[in-house]
């Protein structure tokens, strides 16, 4: 499943049988950042009956936590988390604060309300799909520049920069699963003359057509 990171925080608000649910969605890179955000929201909504939350650090195989904060077990934190995983979120925290309206919702009603609030908050956030990639520097003679650029364009691989000197070096961000095959194609189109070097693997994505590099989890 594709993974998404938050580029811009989001908020959402719903009302269910007079209870008000306020969702706050934020990007975090560590568990400490996630817990600090939860603490900040508890202070902001100090008079809320509950401040339930969930966070995912480093994807589903990383750190995953949720809390019902006094709501019946499984009716708040888990539904929030399920919405997050349904959207493929990683490195994210969602806090839903509830102001009790005097009408009990029942377990099913609570699950729906917390889920809907989380959905609303995520809908109002700006997300970008993240991919694991390898920065690749491709050094060639000027006579092969056009072929290299054409190949990268055909493979939908973004060119980050092009450095011109006695030769030319094209810097590209290559999805991890394409790196080995791309190197073979580059060697082929340049008659074996391309000098190819790999950087350190990283996560990247796109927002409004621009390349975004994501921070590594601490």
Q: Examine the domain organization and report whether 170 and 200 are in the same domain.
A: yes
62: helix, coil or strand? coil
Taking the CA of residue 13 as centre, how many other CA atoms within 13 Å lie in the half-sphere pointing to its CB?
A: 4
pTM for this predicted structure: 0.84
Strands 195-198 and 159-164: unpaired
Distance (Å, rounded) from C-alpha 173 to C-alpha 132? 10
Percentage of the chain with pLDDT > 90? 87
Domain edge (last residue) among 78, 95, 124: 124
Which tens digit of pLDDT belongs to each residue from 172-200? Answer: 999 999 999 999 999 999 999 999 999 99
CATH number at residue 207: 3.30.70.240
How does the average pLDDT of the chain come out, rounded? 93
Residue 83 CB burial class (10 angstroms; 0-12, 13-18, ≥19): buried
pLDDT of 218 above 70:
no
Least Cα distance to 176 among 130, 128, 207, 210 occurs for: 130
pLDDT of 208 above 80:
no
Q: Examine the domain organization and report whether 173 and 113 are in the same domain.
A: no
Q: How many domains, in total, are found in the chain?
A: 2
CATH number at residue 14: 3.30.230.30
Confidence tier at 46 by pLDDT (50, 70, 90): very high
Q: Examine the domain organization and report whether 56 and 90 are in the same domain.
A: yes
Q: Examine the domain organization and report whether 96 and 33 are in the same domain.
A: yes
pLDDT higher for 60 or 105? Answer: 105
**Domain span at 94:** 3-124
Q: What are the φ/ψ torsions at residue 10 (nearest 5 degrees)?
A: -135, 155
Whether 117 contacts 53, CB under 8 Å: no
19: helix, coil or strand? strand
Confidence tier at 215 by pLDDT (50, 70, 90): confident
Whether 110 contacts 71, CB under 8 Å: yes
pLDDT score recorded for residue 217: 64
pLDDT score recorded for residue 209: 77
The tokens describing 206, both together, are: 């796109």
pLDDT score recorded for residue 2: 83
The tokens describing 35, both together, are: 């817990």
Q: Examine the domain organization and report whether 12 and 109 are in the same domain.
A: yes
Which tens digit of pLDDT belongs to each residue from 127-161? Answer: 999 999 999 999 999 999 999 999 999 999 999 99
Q: Examine the domain organization and report whether 118 and 151 are in the same domain.
A: no
């Amino acid at each position: 499943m594709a993974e998404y990171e938050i580029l811009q925080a989001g908020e959402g608000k719903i009302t269910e049988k007079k209870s008000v649910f306020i969702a706050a969605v934020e990007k975090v890179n560590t568990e400490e950042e996630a817990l600090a955000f939860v603490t900040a929201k508890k202070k902001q909504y100090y008079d809320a009956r509950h401040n339930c939350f969930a966070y995912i650090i480093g994807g589903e195989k990383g750190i995953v936590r949720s809390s019902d904060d006094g709501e019946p077990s499984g009716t708040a934190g888990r539904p929030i988390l399920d919405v997050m995983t349904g959207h493929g979120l990683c490195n994210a925290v969602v806090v839903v604060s509830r102001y009790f309206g005097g009408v009990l919702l029942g377990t099913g009603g609570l699950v729906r309300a917390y889920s809907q609030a989380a959905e609303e908050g995520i809908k109002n956030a700006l997300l970008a799909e993240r991919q694991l990639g390898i920065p690749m520097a491709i050094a060639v003679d000027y006579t092969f520049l056009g072929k290299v650029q054409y190949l990268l364009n055909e493979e939908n691989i973004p060119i980050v920069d092009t450095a011109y000197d006695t030769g030319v070096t094209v810097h590209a961000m290559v999805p991890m699963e394409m790196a080995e095959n791309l190197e073979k194609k580059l060697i082929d189109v340049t008659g074996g003359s391309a000098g190819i070097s790999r950087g350190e693997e990283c996560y990247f994505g796109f927002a409004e057509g621009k390349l975004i590099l994501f921070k590594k989890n601490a």
